[in-house]
Amino acid sequence: MTDTETALAREITAELRALMAQELPVQDKLDRVVALIAERLRVDACACYILRPGSMLELYATKGLSPDAVHETFLRVGEGLIGEIALQRKPLAFANAWRHKSFVYKPETKEKAFKSLMGVPLVRENRLLGVLSVQTKKIKNFSADIVEVLETIAMVVSDMLASHPAISEQPDAFANNRRKITGIPLIEGFAQGMTLVHKRIENVAHIVDGNAKTEIKKLTQALAGVEREVNKMMALPKTNAEQVAIFETYLMFLKDKGWISKMTKIVESGLTAEAAVHRVGLDMSERMERMTDPYIRERIHDFQDLVNRLIRHLRGRKADADEKRRRQVILVAHSLGPAELLDYNLKYIKGIVLEEGSQTMHVVIVARSLNIPVICGIKDATHVIPPKTFAALDAISGQLYLNPSDEILDDLKSEMARRAIVGAHCNQSRALPAVTKDGVKIALNINAGLLDDLLVPEGTFYSGIGLYRTELPFMMSQELPGLEAQAETYHKVITKAGHRPVVFRTLDIGSDKVLPYFQQQGEENPAMGWRSIRITLDRRALLRDQLRAFIRASGEKPLAVMFPMVSATAEFLEAKKTFFLELEREKNAGRKVPKDIKIGTMLEVPSLLFQMDELLKHVDFVSIGTNDLMQFLFAADRGNALIWNRYDTLSPTFLRVLKSVNDACAQAGVPCSVCGEMAGHPLEAVVLVALGFTSLSLNPGKLGAVKAALRTMNQAETAAYVAIQMNASGPSIRDAVRAYAHDHGIFIT
Ligand code: PEP
Ligand code: MG
Q: 144-203 pLDDT, tens per residue?
A: 888 888 888 888 888 888 777 656 544 433 444 678 898 988 888 899 999 998 876 556
- C-alpha torsion sign, points 539, 540, 545, 551: positive
Amino acid letter at 150? Answer: L
Fold exhibited by the domain 179-198+321-412: Glucose Oxidase; domain 1 (3.50.30)
Numbered ranges of CATH 3.20.20.60 in the chain: 439-743
**What's residue 373's pLDDT?**
94
The CA distance from 333 to 197, in Å, is 6
Fold exhibited by the domain 212-314: Enzyme I; Chain A, domain 2 (1.10.274)
Numbered ranges of CATH 1.10.274.10 in the chain: 212-314
pLDDT band at 639; cut points 50, 70, 90: low
Amino acid letter at 344? Answer: Y
Ligand 1 atom with the smallest distance to the CA of 676 is 3
CA 677–ligand 2 middle distance (angstroms)? 10
Residue identifier of the C-alpha nearest atom 4 of ligand 1: 625
Higher pLDDT, 320 or 706: 706
* Residues with active-site annotation: 362, 675
Pairing of strands 329-333, 399-402: unpaired
Ligand 1 atom with the smallest distance to the CA of 624 is 3
Residue identifier of the C-alpha nearest atom 9 of ligand 1: 469
Ligand 1 atom with the smallest distance to the CA of 508 is 9
* pLDDT surpasses 70 at 359: no
C-alpha to C-alpha distances, 605 to 211, 365, 655, 668, 748, nearest whole angstrom: 65, 30, 15, 20, 30
Of residues 561, 746, 732, the one with CA closest to residue 652: 732
Q: What average pLDDT does range 27-39 have in this prediction?
A: 92
Q: What average pLDDT does range 443-456 have in this prediction?
A: 83
CA 435–ligand 1 middle distance (angstroms)? 26
- In sequence order, the β-bridge partners of residue 51 are 57
Name all residues whose Cβ lies below 6 A of ligand 1.
467, 469, 508, 604, 625-628, 675-676
Residue identifier of the C-alpha nearest atom 8 of ligand 1: 627
Amino acid letter at 427? Answer: N
CA 630–ligand 2 middle distance (angstroms)? 10
CA 513–ligand 2 middle distance (angstroms)? 11
The CA distance from 443 to 428, in Å, is 18
CA 627–ligand 2 middle distance (angstroms)? 6
CA 139–ligand 1 middle distance (angstroms)? 66
What is the DSSP code (8-state) at residue 644?
T
**What's residue 501's pLDDT?**
96
Nearest ligand to residue 449 Cα: 1
Of residues 697, 737, 235, the one with CA closest to residue 443: 697
105 Cβ partners below 8 Å, 6+ apart? Answer: 98, 111, 112
> Mutation test of ligand 1: which of 446, 447, 469 has the most ligand atoms closer than 8 Å to its C-beta?
469
Nearest ligand to residue 639 Cα: 1
H or E element that contains 375: strand 374-376
749 Cβ partners below 8 Å, 6+ apart? Answer: 419, 422, 426, 682, 705, 708, 709
Residue identifier of the C-alpha nearest atom 6 of ligand 1: 625
Residue identifier of the C-alpha nearest atom 3 of ligand 1: 625
Asked if residues 245 and 476 have their Cβ atoms less than 8 Å apart, the reply is yes
> Mutation test of ligand 1: which of 509, 512, 565, 604 has the most ligand atoms closer than 8 Å to its C-beta?
604
**What's residue 422's pLDDT?**
85
Asked if residues 594 and 557 have their Cβ atoms less than 8 Å apart, the reply is yes
Angle between helices 540-554 and 569-588 (to 10 degrees): 60
pLDDT in tens, 529-540: 999 999 999 999
What is the DSSP code (8-state) at residue 125?
T
Ligand 1 atom with the smallest distance to the CA of 626 is 3
> Mutation test of ligand 1: which of 675, 684, 698 has the most ligand atoms closer than 8 Å to its C-beta?
675
738 Cβ partners below 8 Å, 6+ apart? Answer: 683, 748
Numbered ranges of CATH 3.30.450.40 in the chain: 3-168
The CA distance from 204 to 215, in Å, is 14
The reported pTM is: 0.60
Ligand 1 atom with the smallest distance to the CA of 675 is 5
CA 12–ligand 1 middle distance (angstroms)? 73
The CA distance from 582 to 210, in Å, is 64
Asked if residues 459 and 440 have their Cβ atoms less than 8 Å apart, the reply is no
The CA distance from 737 to 725, in Å, is 8
**How high does pLDDT run on average in the chain?**
87
Q: What average pLDDT does range 476-501 have in this prediction?
A: 91
Q: Which of 312-321, 415-424, 511-520, 539-548 has the highest mean pLDDT?
A: 539-548
**What's residue 691's pLDDT?**
98
Angle between helices 682-691 and 703-710 (to 10 degrees): 50
Higher pLDDT, 177 or 248: 248
Residue identifier of the C-alpha nearest atom 1 of ligand 1: 625
CA 705–ligand 1 middle distance (angstroms)? 21
H or E element that contains 553: helix 540-554
Amino acid letter at 734? Answer: R
Percent of the chain with pLDDT over 70: 91
Nearest ligand to residue 699 Cα: 1
- In sequence order, the β-bridge partners of residue 352 are 331, 374
pLDDT in tens, 305-358: 788 888 888 877 555 444 445 578 999 998 887 777 877 878 889 999 998 877
Per DSSP, the three-state class of 131 is strand
CA 614–ligand 2 middle distance (angstroms)? 22
Q: Which of 149-153, 508-512, 521-525 has the highest mean pLDDT?
A: 149-153
Nearest ligand to residue 677 Cα: 1
> Mutation test of ligand 1: which of 628, 630, 637 has the most ligand atoms closer than 8 Å to its C-beta?
628
CA 28 to chain CA mean position, Å: 42
Ligand 1 atom with the smallest distance to the CA of 467 is 5
Higher pLDDT, 325 or 216: 216
Per DSSP, the three-state class of 402 is strand
358 Cβ partners below 8 Å, 6+ apart? Answer: 186, 294, 298, 364, 376
Helices and strands: H and E segment counts in the chain? 27, 22
- C-alpha torsion sign, points 520, 522, 527, 530: negative
**Burial environment of residue 574 by CB neighbours within 10 A (0 to 12, 13 to 18, 19 or more):** middle
Q: Residues lining ligand 2 (ion), CB within 5 A?
A: 604, 625, 628
* pLDDT surpasses 70 at 209: no
pLDDT in tens, 646-684: 899 999 999 999 999 999 999 999 999 999 989 999 999
**What's residue 176's pLDDT?**
46
Ligand 1 atom with the smallest distance to the CA of 625 is 3
Could you tell me where the DSSP H helices lie in 236-391?
241-254, 257-268, 273-290, 294-314, 338-343, 362-370, 381-384
Asked if residues 380 and 163 have their Cβ atoms less than 8 Å apart, the reply is no
Fold exhibited by the domain 439-743: TIM Barrel (3.20.20)
Numbered ranges of CATH 3.50.30.10 in the chain: 179-198+321-412
Say which range, 72-86, 232-246, 282-296, 565-579, has the weakest mean pLDDT. Answer: 282-296
**What's residue 321's pLDDT?**
43
Could you tell me where the DSSP H helices lie in 589-710?
612-616, 626-633, 652-668, 682-691, 703-710
**What's residue 38's pLDDT?**
94
The CA distance from 223 to 696, in Å, is 50
The CA distance from 331 to 374, in Å, is 9
The CA distance from 186 to 377, in Å, is 10
Q: What average pLDDT does range 495-511 have in this prediction?
A: 93
Nearest ligand to residue 469 Cα: 1
Q: Which of 229-238, 257-266, 673-682, 688-697 has the highest mean pLDDT?
A: 688-697
CATH of 3-168, one of 3.30.450.40, 3.40.50.300, 3.40.800.20, 3.40.50.10490: 3.30.450.40
The CA distance from 669 to 665, in Å, is 6
**What's residue 174's pLDDT?**
42
Of residues 328, 371, 324, 333, the one with CA closest to residue 352: 333
pLDDT band at 487; cut points 50, 70, 90: very high
CA 308 to chain CA mean position, Å: 23
pLDDT band at 363; cut points 50, 70, 90: confident
Higher pLDDT, 700 or 739: 739
